[in-house]
Structure 1
Amino acid sequence: MLSSVLLPLLLCVQALSSDCPENCSCPSPNSVFCFTRRSSTVPPVPPRTEELYIFSNGISTLSAEDFQHLRQLQMLDLSQNQLTELPDGAFEMLLKLKNLDLSSNQISHISKGSFSGLVQLERLYLYGNKIQIIQMGAFESLQNLLELKLHENLLTSLPALSFPRLLLLDLSYNNIPTLGPSELQIPHIEALKVTSLGLTSLDTNLIASLKNLHYLDISMNQLVEVPPALRQDSLRGLIRLSLAGNPLRELKVEDFHKLNGLQELDLSGLNLQSIPQGLLDNFPRLVHLTAAENPFNCLCPLAWFSVWLKEKALTLRRPEETRCHFPLVNAGKMLSELEYKDFGCLHTSTVVARAFSQSTLVGHITTYPDTTHTNATSSPSLEVSNPSSIAPSLSPQTSDLHQCPGPCQNGGRCQVDPLGQRGCQCPPGTAGLYCETREDPLKSWSTDVPVVVPISSRHVTATSILLDLHHFIQTQPHIRGIRLTYRNLSGPDHRPIILRVPASYPEYTLRGLRPNCTYSVCASPLVEKVQRWNSSGEMVSCTEARTAGAPLSPQEPRFTTPGPQSGSLEPALAALALLLGLAVLTGTVVCVRRRRTKPGLELEGGPCEAASPDPHTPEQATGPHTKPDSDSVPGTPHNQSLNSSDGRTLPLK
């Protein structure tokens, strides 16, 4: 009885296995997987097959005969083969086909008859090919298409794509700089991906026609501002938006007012230095935020962002790439790990000043821990013509305040404006974020253009000057390099020396300088739009620094102030002074004796001549010498000799 049941089953399995193509597998009666087969043609498969996977087989040609008997086929995967073209009518017998994957081949063009007969097709994948041309009407039979992927091809233009039911369209990584409603007639589209097409704007009429759009990816294009098309009412249902990789540099709150349904937002790689407060309040449903690869200035205007991240129940994606670029105290730190106090904000209580003695501006008076005076504050954009006229009329409150990031220089004061923002109040004749540059009154700067943040010197030695170029680089859009010009103002040679420094160097050290000299150093961007100009039409930012005196060389005498252990030198110095005194006294006695001569005799030789090195008698000497006797009384002549007129040596008695 058992054998009568098993035998038909075994025969059935054998029949199925015999229908499966060689080097393929058939996990079910209607599925065929050919993933190890190597052939340039399509293998013969059973007519009942509904799913055929022949990817990465080396297939280079197709014909209508390959599929004419596969009337039940619904899924066909021909990806990762060597196809260079799609013959007209190759798929026209596949009336039930719903999914066709032709990705990662070498197809160069799509003709009008490439997809004829595919009236039930819902998904068509053509990405990763070399398609340059799509003929008009190539997709006209695909009226039921739901997904079309054409990304990573060589397209420079599109025919009119009319898909009444299309839900997803991916055109990314082609070169199509303009897209309008005439090219895309896709009224029910839900996901539109146009990454890296070279777009400089987004067509407002196109976006207005997409009333069902949920996902929009316009990343890696050439958008210099948030497209006004995003202010359309049609985008109230938008859930995902990617602006990543565009040179925006600035965001405005009003650009996102209509996007209150947004749940995912990608702002990475926009060259943002800050995010305006209140911008993210437009998105009450936001769940995922990406802000990586931006050179954030982690100063007080961005402090709200750190607090907002901690208060909101959302995910900051790529937090390890979301870091501070400036100031130096925060450079390289992850933005999500900073506290409010780390941004240098003065958030403690302040007292309202009565008034400036010569100004109507009302500000705050705040005391810093390291100062004993009060500072009246004003808006950072205002300058007080006479800093000494600021009247500290109220006593300050002592509190734990945070200093400005970096000390104010050249008499500048760290102050707080009425909005709570801190900055340096620069006296006349100085400029810069920290008042670090003294303006040269002899230079005729233009006043109708913005002033850039100047360079400054951070460390000076006898032969080098370390320059801080952080602020200068940040104020220059897309700066390619810096031209440094420096000259010695203390010497006779004032000829400038010019260097070219890459923009990736936030600090640079000038070496080989002369000690105890004043140097003028100026910086200007290379091939950039200028913001501050001199009379020659070139943007310049300058600073001055004086090198230290040269250190003493080993041969030069060094004088050291006696320390606690220098008392042992006093006896030696006293003995040395005594010996010097005795030498002077001896020399005086010798000179006196030499000058005492008899009348009529004349001493030879000059005064204070040295004694003979030979200890023998005067007769053996080669010239007149004086040798004092150790037993003689000072002032008494003893054993002296004179030369007579005839040349004989006469002893003196």
Structure 2
Amino acid sequence: MLQYFLLAVLSSGLVLSSDCPTDCNCPIQGSIFCIHLPALIVPHVPTTTKNLYIFKNGIKTLSQEDFRGLVELQMLDLSQNELTEIPDGVFEMLSDLKNLDLSSNHITHISKGSFSGMVQLERLYLHANRIQSIHLEAFEGLEKLLELKLQGNQLTSLPSLQFPSLLLLDLSSNNIPTLNPSDLQTPHLETLKVASLKLTTVDEDLIASLKNLHELDISSNQLDEVPWALNQDFLKGLTKLSLAGNPLGELRVEDFQKLSGLQELDLSSLNLQGFPPSFFHIFPKLKTLTAAENPFNCLCPLAWFPVWLKERKVTLGRHEETRCHFPLVNAGKMLSELEHKDFGCPSTTTVQMGSPIGSTPVSQMPYTSPATHTNAIPPPLLPSEETISPKTESPVFPSSTSGENEHFCPPNICLNGGTCNFDPVGELGCLCLLGTYGLYCENLNEVPEPPEHSATEVSVVTPEMPDKLDAISSRQVTSTSILLDLHRFIETQPHIRGIRLTYRNLSGPDRRPIILNVPASYPEYTLRGLRPNCTYSVCASPLGERISSKANSSAEIGSCTEARTDGVPVTSLEPWVETKSSMTNTLIPALASLALVLGLAVVAGTIICLRKRRHANAGLELELGPADPDPMELEGIKACLENGGNGTIPLKQPEIDHCFTPQPSPYLQQNGGLDYEAPLVQGHCPSNNNVTLLKPSYF
């Protein structure tokens, strides 16, 4: 009986406890964790292992023998060891490997054969090493690579990175002062991080080649102005931008006009004292703004900012580091916590009235503006508007039929066509046109809908009540990616070893779950390579928790959320294809009609030539008698190829010569005289990378 039991266990593919290496942990089938091993070598593991984590073990060298027989291995984590090199062909037998993490080692060089044979590799992490050089052919054959991380090394130049499927590239914290278009042959790239490279400019052609870009980090460089490369129409699809830590001058609205799709903007450490008038009107989708470590001048011109954050529900990142520098009464205070009265805005204005017209005397009347509420937003002044001060306000005169003080509006107080009015108690307000809102009609966006259910929002808004289903949420959604927030999930699992993420496409015919294992040190995680305009269910559970065999998905355990990806951007080339196809469909019938007309003309010309020839011969026969036929005439139409046949019939206008057989067009000649064939539309790659081969992100 015992033999049958053992046979059943072995046939089911389960890893027996005796197969788990000494000093390692095997919490779930196919996954092995080896941390702080006493021996500084790669342990021997079962050949059925799929996920192998051997980080923090002080391993210094690798050999092919370490991985012999591991043909099913898909995840290999060798991070935080002491490797100094990657021997050629050391991973060659791991033909199924998709995720390789070599970060936080001491590697100095990447040779030509370091990654040979890894045709299925999708994610390669080499960050936090000491890499100084990479062989020009080191990455050849990695056609399916989705993510490459090289940040935190000592690179001074790059080989040409040719990755047709790459979605994420991180080159931050190296010494590469220039990046050329030839350096990045990555047409589907979604995320580019080039922070701390000592860049002085951003190449326009380089950015123009990345038409699928969603996230750009150019922080902590030496840019003295906002790069002109950001002024391109297709960058309306950019959702996240970081300019932090650059010696930029004054921010200008015109530098950001093409970035209307931004959802996250980082303007930290730019020496800002305030923001340009109407600066944030060009970001209708903005959700997160970071402006920490700036010396803000917290006077009346900035009083609108804290209220704008609340009304637009914009999250202020690093709000504790966003503080006032001037005046002294506000120095050190958090900008977002100030009230309107704290900015020192004047509450009363007195205007002395003079004589309006001629010699008619009018008594001088004081004007007192209505009390200003703390939730009011002083309208940012447009460049064409003049600043209104107590001394420069235009005088408004009372009616000659009234002896009482009447309320009147300061000039230009209402923006965007709004009409100034007073309520029954004398409070100043504005009646706004459709499509504008705010106390002064200063906002041009659509009026925000109630927060209960918004039809335009894509990401799932989590309720405020703490619930297990709220432990994960989607913070940002694009057409092909979902950014997950796992902070609360990790906080509620203090002893968690890792996170198992399971997601399914609820909008497609294939709803099979896809499972990923994520370390517990990643509070944010991006699923990439998703399909556009689809609803995805994402669930998280502690790594090591067994899934019931009766469950069809992980939705029955752990914490779940749903998010819907955006549609395909309008910058796609598909409309061009439709236009080209429409043109082709119109051109073919036109050419067919032209060929028919030419054919009829040839037949008519031949008949006319033959008749004229017969009439000429008939005249000669009457005078000279019958003669033998000319051999040339026996060929019929060939006799008409000569000018005028026998020279007795003069030609008419050259452009209407019916005796010449028209020559076929070059297209007809190339096709052997057949009907014209319209060239096929050339194949092309759309700007989005939503193909079935692209898998989601590991980290």
Match runs of 1:556-571 below 5 Å? none
Please tell me the residue identity of whatever aligns with 2:186. I
Structure 2 residue aligned with 1:168: 168
Structure 1 residue 70: Cα displacement: 1.2
Structure 2 residue aligned with 1:414: none
Are the equivalent residues in 2 in contact too, given 1:345–1:422 (CA < 8 A)? Answer: no
Are the equivalent residues in 2 in contact too, given 1:346–1:422 (CA < 8 A)? Answer: no
Please tell me the residue identity of whatever aligns with 2:367. Q
Query: Per-residue CA shift, 1:80-113, capped at 9, x if unaligned?
Result: 1111001111111111110000001100000111
Which secondary structure state, in structure 2, belongs to the residue aligned with residue 182 of structure 1? helix
Structure 1 residue 133: Cα displacement: 0.4
Structure 1 residue aligned with 2:233: 233
Distance in 2, Cα, partners of 1:268 & 1:188: 29
Structure 2 vs 1, CA of residues 15 and 93 (structure 1 numbering), >3 Å: closer, same or farther? closer
Structure 2 residue aligned with 1:52: 52
Structure 1 residue 332: Cα displacement: 1.5
Structure 2 vs 1, CA of residues 63 and 177 (structure 1 numbering), >3 Å: closer, same or farther? same
Structure 1 residue 246: Cα displacement: 1.3
Is residue 152 of structure 1 aligned with residue 120 of structure 2?
A: no
Are the equivalent residues in 1 in contact too, given 2:214–2:239 (CA < 8 A)? Answer: yes
Structure 2 residue aligned with 1:217: 217
Structure 2 residue aligned with 1:297: 297
Structure 1 residue aligned with 2:281: 281
Structure 2 residue aligned with 1:138: 138
Distance in 1, Cα, partners of 2:314 & 2:28: 44
Structure 2 vs 1, CA of residues 352 and 423 (structure 1 numbering), >3 Å: closer, same or farther? closer
Which secondary structure state, in structure 2, belongs to the residue aligned with residue 336 of structure 1? helix
Query: Per-residue CA shift, 1:281-336, capped at 9, x if unaligned?
Result: 11111111111110011123322323322321121122221111111222122211
Structure 2 vs 1, CA of residues 423 and 237 (structure 1 numbering), >3 Å: closer, same or farther? farther
Structure 1 residue aligned with 2:388: 420
Distance in 1, Cα, partners of 2:123 & 2:352: 68
User: Structure 1, unaligned stretches of length 5 or more?
Assistant: 356-391, 403-416, 425-653
Structure 1 residue aligned with 2:313: 313
Structure 2 vs 1, CA of residues 353 and 129 (structure 1 numbering), >3 Å: closer, same or farther? farther
Structure 1 residue 421: Cα displacement: 5.2
Structure 2 vs 1, CA of residues 68 and 5 (structure 1 numbering), >3 Å: closer, same or farther? closer
Distance in 2, Cα, partners of 1:315 & 1:58: 42
Distance in 1, Cα, partners of 2:249 & 2:271: 5
Structure 2 residue aligned with 1:438: none
Structure 1 residue aligned with 2:206: 206
Structure 2 residue aligned with 1:333: 333
Structure 1 residue 399: Cα displacement: 5.5
Please tell me the residue identity of whatever aligns with 2:166. L
Structure 2 vs 1, CA of residues 352 and 292 (structure 1 numbering), >3 Å: closer, same or farther? farther
Are the equivalent residues in 2 in contact too, given 1:111–1:138 (CA < 8 A)? Answer: yes
Match runs of 1:97-116 below 5 Å? 97-116=97-116
Are the equivalent residues in 1 in contact too, given 2:156–2:174 (CA < 8 A)? Answer: yes
Distance in 2, Cα, partners of 1:271 & 1:168: 30
Query: Per-residue CA shift, 1:556-598, capped at 9, x if unaligned?
Result: xxxxxxxxxxxxxxxxxxxxxxxxxxxxxxxxxxxxxxxxxxx
Matched residue count = 374
Structure 1 residue 219: Cα displacement: 1.0
Structure 1 residue 7: Cα displacement: 6.3
Distance in 1, Cα, partners of 2:144 & 2:276: 44
Structure 2 residue aligned with 1:450: none
Structure 2 residue aligned with 1:21: 21
Distance in 2, Cα, partners of 1:421 & 1:272: 24
Structure 2 residue aligned with 1:74: 74
More helix by share: 2
Structure 2 vs 1, CA of residues 393 and 177 (structure 1 numbering), >3 Å: closer, same or farther? farther
Distance in 1, Cα, partners of 2:85 & 2:290: 40
Structure 1 residue 29: Cα displacement: 4.1
Distance in 2, Cα, partners of 1:169 & 1:72: 27
Structure 1 residue aligned with 2:181: 181
Please tell me the residue identity of whatever aligns with 1:420. I
Distance in 2, Cα, partners of 1:202 & 1:23: 50
Are the equivalent residues in 1 in contact too, given 2:56–2:81 (CA < 8 A)? Answer: yes
Query: Per-residue CA shift, 1:255-285, capped at 9, x if unaligned?
Result: 1111111111111111111111211111111
Are the equivalent residues in 1 in contact too, given 2:14–2:29 (CA < 8 A)? Answer: no
Q: Sequence identity, in percent?
A: 66
Distance in 2, Cα, partners of 1:75 & 1:132: 26
Structure 2 vs 1, CA of residues 83 and 277 (structure 1 numbering), >3 Å: closer, same or farther? same
Structure 2 residue aligned with 1:94: 94
Which secondary structure state, in structure 1, belongs to the residue aligned with residue 52 of structure 2? strand
Structure 1 residue 397: Cα displacement: 2.5
Which secondary structure state, in structure 2, belongs to the residue aligned with residue 305 of structure 1? helix
Query: Per-residue CA shift, 1:409-446, capped at 9, x if unaligned?
Result: xxxxxxxx95125899xxxxxxxxxxxxxxxxxxxxxx
More strand by share: 1
Greater Cα offset, 29-38 or 212-221: 29-38
Is residue 396 of structure 1 aligned with residue 366 of structure 2?
A: yes
Distance in 1, Cα, partners of 2:27 & 2:100: 20
Query: Per-residue CA shift, 1:123-157, capped at 9, x if unaligned?
Result: 00001100000110111111110000001111111
Which secondary structure state, in structure 2, belongs to the residue aligned with residue 212 of structure 1? coil
Structure 2 vs 1, CA of residues 14 and 273 (structure 1 numbering), >3 Å: closer, same or farther? closer
What's the TM-score once normalised by structure 2's chain length?
0.50
Structure 2 residue aligned with 1:553: none
Distance in 1, Cα, partners of 2:78 & 2:315: 38
Superposed CA RMSD in Å reads: 2.9
Which secondary structure state, in structure 1, belongs to the residue aligned with residue 18 of structure 2? helix
Are the equivalent residues in 2 in contact too, given 1:346–1:420 (CA < 8 A)? Answer: no
Are the equivalent residues in 2 in contact too, given 1:136–1:160 (CA < 8 A)? Answer: yes
Structure 2 residue aligned with 1:121: 121
Structure 2 vs 1, CA of residues 123 and 269 (structure 1 numbering), >3 Å: closer, same or farther? same
Distance in 2, Cα, partners of 1:64 & 1:354: 96
Structure 1 residue 394: Cα displacement: 5.0
Which secondary structure state, in structure 1, belongs to the residue aligned with residue 285 of structure 2? coil
Distance in 1, Cα, partners of 2:113 & 2:146: 20
Which secondary structure state, in structure 2, belongs to the residue aligned with residue 59 of structure 1? coil
Are the equivalent residues in 2 in contact too, given 1:298–1:327 (CA < 8 A)? Answer: yes
Structure 2 vs 1, CA of residues 185 and 4 (structure 1 numbering), >3 Å: closer, same or farther? closer
User: Structure 2, unaligned stretches of length 5 or more?
Assistant: 356-361, 373-384, 393-699
Structure 1 residue 186: Cα displacement: 1.1
Please tell me the residue identity of whatever aligns with 2:236. R
Which secondary structure state, in structure 2, belongs to the residue aligned with residue 18 of structure 1? helix
Which secondary structure state, in structure 2, belongs to the residue aligned with residue 32 of structure 1? strand
Which secondary structure state, in structure 2, belongs to the residue aligned with residue 26 of structure 1? coil
